[in-house]
Structure 1
Amino acid sequence: MDGSYLDVKEKFVNETPIEDMHYRSYLPFSSSAMSRGDQIRIAVQNTDAYTLFCESYLYIEGKITRATGATGKLSIAHNGLAFLFDEISYEVNGVEVQKVKDPGTTSLIKGYCSYSLNDVNNLQNAYWSPNDDDPSITYHADDFKFSGSIPLSHLFGFAEDYRKIMINVSQQLVLNRSLKDVNVLRGTLETGVTWADESSKKLMKSTVELTKIAWKLPVVRVNDREKLKLLKIVESHKSLHCAFRNWDLCVYPQLPETTKHSWMVKTTNSVERPRYILLAFHTADNAGLSGKRTEKFDSCSITNLKVHLNSAEYPYENELNLNHLQTSQQGPVLIV
């Protein structure tokens, strides 16, 4: 016999606190200022709406224009949509919550370490294709148009970690368009042609023109009971804690040609503390549009590595510990 039959004082449980959730499209202030080097701002001024930032995404449309005299075929590179921007930031009520430098490289390193197969499948519309022989990659010999969507949880740690609605706030996305498009594209050359040939150099001068950017943001409609609870929270003027993991990218542009190297990096202030260190090595600086620049990392034959966090040493000597070193066709990434 079920004992719950006797609990006559059990409180009522509302099974439908959320009545509806639908996506709204928010466009930039200027639809013409989306060229290379431009700053794109998308604002949400409807402070009465309950929005779900963690489930929002960017919808992007554009056109690829081949340079005159270029030979070979073009497509969007792996994670290419994220490489459209040099820097992105998210603001709430005019206060910057998170800024991500080089979101393409940042999301690439983070994704290789943490994404499951389901995550990879969900990112197909963002041109995340880790396999070189992926049949979903389509190469074009002429100019072509493209479209795709990037979940903001792929670009911001705030969207990945904070899974709550935003109550009565104004929000803004700031996207700094990249100055070059070579990281966005991936090309294949004709037989016998190399990236040093003149026609290949012209292919690398192909451009990406953005025709539309929209921020698709879910708006949640709740029932009267839940709305009253949320209004009381707003009227209480109490602080709401929004904990999340920030992503900070540090790049050493030119390593010296020595067998030993020391790199000192200060990444956090007195409030924050580091949780993970992801270290990746790259040698493909002049790979053209082959994809090695933005899709693969290298092992570099590292045999000894030590990480010091606030004077505490984390050594990986002789052979790197494979429990902390994920190796794949993209190369190793160290997780501390």
Structure 2
Amino acid sequence: MLTTEQKIAARLWKAGQGRWVQSDCKHDSDHNAICHLFEEIRYEINAIGIDRNKNVGLTSLMKGYAALSPGQRSLIENVGWLDVREREKLTNPDGYFDVSIPLSLILGFPEDYRKIVINAKHELILRRAKSDVNAIMQTAPEGCKVVIHKLEWLIPYVSDRRKIQLLKFIERDAPISLSFRTWELYEYPLLPTTSKHVWAVKTSSQLEKPRYVILGFQTSRKNKKNKKASQIDHSNIRDVKLFLNSQCYPYGNLNLDIDHNHFALLHEMYANIQATYYGKDPEHLLKKNEFLECAPLIVIDCSKQNESFKVGPVDIRLEFEAQDNFPADTSAFCLILHDRIVENNPISGGVKKLV
């Protein structure tokens, strides 16, 4: 898929008083605020859904922290990702803003599939969140909401000469495989107030077994108007294990002690995902202190798997332990990155998911 992007122009509205936000309104756009405006985004080809992102704000946040590099800091400001310490502002004093978001930051298909999909109807379905409270951190008693004025989907132009070449290539209507990695977010909404917990995340097929798993925690942040919904909390985590049936990742214990500044292994796991996921030298976005402060994610590489996983379903289970009991109102989020293959017949228009 050639690079596409979504452009949004909007303005903040001061609810209850029926007027546009002015500089006296006490609000602050959250990090990655724009994605929090949408509950779900789906990509369809010929009316068949091939990829989707649920809980767009957190999914794109967790995946983005793992994927982005320091050289992209100026680029992602235009996307609505403020700098990690949020010293920048998204809106002007009158509440106006616009952003341009590459779909590769939101969905796995545009990120991985870099070829032209010809003779097909492409649709992008966006479902707005019920509330904008996760996008705007507010301290004033009256609420603010985002009013979208314009939404555009920008797709690169393909020349007529190139189209003719492609039509000759597809004239036999041979099926074309569209291979990519999709992102699925699972939520454990309320952890018990214990120091250890076992989470049976899901049972997957062989073809959809995880290649990478990213785990994060939040305490009393979701749908709280005075809290940052894009902040990840470390919850004083001590150890995490991922089980795919009986196979365990990582093999050894993490032995974290965040109170005593012992979390180097956690940051190393976060930094190394770029080497295996993208096949490039790691250039992680967050320095060690920024990582702990903003996004202490547990990134588990399970791409190297035992041959015994070739048959049967795969039970995905997480076991994690904290130094103390998990605080009240703590949620866990598990982002699973796995393979997907879609078969497209460009002449007849048939589209089906093989994985």
Place the TM-score, normalised by the shorter chain, in its bin: 0.7 to 0.9
Q: CA distance change for structure 1 residues 126 and 235 in 2, over 3 Å: closer, same or farther?
A: same
Which stretches in structure 1 are left out of the alignment for 5+ residues? 1-52, 190-199
Secondary structure of the structure 1 residue equivalent to 2:243: strand
Segment drifting more, 306-315 vs 285-294:
285-294
1:264 is matched with 200
Partner of 1:309: 244
Matches of residues 1-336 of structure 1 in structure 2 within 5 Å? 53-68=1-16, 72-138=25-91, 140=93, 144-187=95-138, 189=139, 200-202=140-142, 205-221=143-159, 223=161, 226-266=162-202, 268-285=204-221, 288-290=224-226, 292-294=228-230, 296-315=231-250, 316-319=253-256, 321-322=265-266, 323-325=268-270, 328=291, 329-336=293-300
TM-superposed CA distance for 1:276, in Å, is 0.5
Distance in 2, Cα, partners of 1:311 & 1:297: 29
Change (3 A) 1:253 1:243: same
Deviations 1:190-228 (A, max 9, x none): xxxxxxxxxx332xx2121112111111121153xx544
CA distance in 2, matches of 1:170, 1:312: 42
State the secondary structure of the residue aligned to 1:233. helix
Tell me the amino acid that sits aligned with residue 81 of structure 1: I
Cα deviation for residue 139 of structure 1 reads 6.4
Aligned amino acid, residue 133 of structure 2: V
Q: TM-score, normalised by structure 2?
A: 0.69
Larger radius of gyration: 1
Q: Matches of 1:176 and 1:161 in 2, distance apart?
A: 23
Count of aligned pairs between the two proteins: 266
CA contact 1:54–1:152 (8 Å) conserved in 2: no
Paired AA for residue 64 in structure 2: G
Shift of 1:144: 2.5
Q: Relative to total residues, which structure has the larger strand share, 1 or 2?
A: 2
CA RMSD, aligned part only?
A: 2.4
Give the counterpart letter for 2:59 in structure 1.
Answer: T
Distance 1:91 1:55, change over 3 A: same
Q: Percent identity?
A: 34
Q: CA deviation at 1:154?
A: 0.8
In 1, Cα distance between the equivalents of 2:31 and 2:247?
37
Q: Distance in 2 between matches of 1:128 and 1:291?
A: 17
